[in-house]
Amino acid sequence: MSDRKTIPIPANPELPGMPVTRRVCSAEFHLSILQTAGRSDYSDFCGMTLEEFVDFTADLGMEIWYGGLGPGTGPSSALLHSTHLDVAQMRAVPGQPQADFEARYVERSHRHGILVIGSYKMNAWPALAKLHPDWLIQDIDDGREVKPNEHFVCYNSPFGEWLGDYLAEQVERFDLDGVWFDDSQYGSKGAWPWPAGCVCPACNRIRSRISMRSCPSGLQTPMKPSSPAWPGTV
Ligand SMILES: [Zn+2]
């Protein structure tokens, strides 16, 4: 990077320690995207090393980074090997970064005072759902044909506690400043029609405790306001 200017560390001396309420420049940026900005082995990005790339974004004014760590192909956690369903398929993607890739990114960002917020799926966990199919959201029957649920898990199941443990481990492992839930389409599966709710055993237990009744086994199909049967329609 000899033809580029030397960027001091921190690029903005006022940034380290700045309260989050005073920070205005944030970006969603997933580390997997870096492969498109350089070599497939993540060794450089448009001619920059990883450290030089972080310096470059710091000089541009990055104050908070929201993003996914790594390309998702390596061991994810002691609690879950990979968030991906088909690890073998992910390993077939050409180019893998070095094992300390994420740690180097976070460490360099922190030297600039950039807050690092890890991005995680809110309840879409394909691999976890295969390990714990009993944690899946069980859609209430409302007469509509909804997309079968294969990987959206319910917080009221043991997944809720597992998620807390997993995120705590991730925060410590990667020295994160916080976590952010991306793709927060609770129960929607990202596809219409959206199911009306969950009737899994855990949800049933909570409803029983609160209302002394179990979840209904079904609901009336939702009505559109344009329907002649809509209340008040003459
Ligand atoms: Zn549930």
Q: How far is the first Cα of the chain from the last one, in angstroms, to the nearest whole number?
A: 73
CATH of the domain at 42: 3.30.750
Dist. CA 191 → ligand 1 center (Å): 19
For ligand 1, a single-atom ion, the residues with CB < 5 A are 154, 156, 198, 200, 203
Dist. CA 89 → ligand 1 center (Å): 30
- Please give the distance of CA 108 from its chain centroid, rounded to a whole number: 22
Dist. CA 66 → ligand 1 center (Å): 29
pLDDT > 90: percent of the chain: 38
Domain total for the chain?
1
Answer whether residue 136 is part of any domain: no
pLDDT of residue 127 exceeding 90: no
DSSP letter for each residue of 151-173: SBB-TTTTHHHHHHHHHHHHHHH
The pLDDT assigned to 80 comes to 73
d(CA 146, CA 191): 8
Answer whether residue 67 is part of any domain: yes
Domain membership of residue 109 as a residue range: 20-121
Residue with token string 């001619």: 47
Dist. CA 187 → ligand 1 center (Å): 10
pLDDT digits over 147-201, tens only? 888 889 998 999 999 999 989 988 988 899 999 988 776 656 667 777 878 899 9
- Please give the distance of CA 62 from its chain centroid, rounded to a whole number: 20
Answer whether residue 79 is part of any domain: yes
pLDDT digits over 44-100, tens only? 888 899 999 999 999 999 999 998 886 544 446 777 766 655 555 555 556 667 778
Dist. CA 234 → ligand 1 center (Å): 39
d(CA 144, CA 159): 27
Looking at residue 229, the DSSP 8-state letter turns out to be T
Element (H, E) at 129: helix 126-131
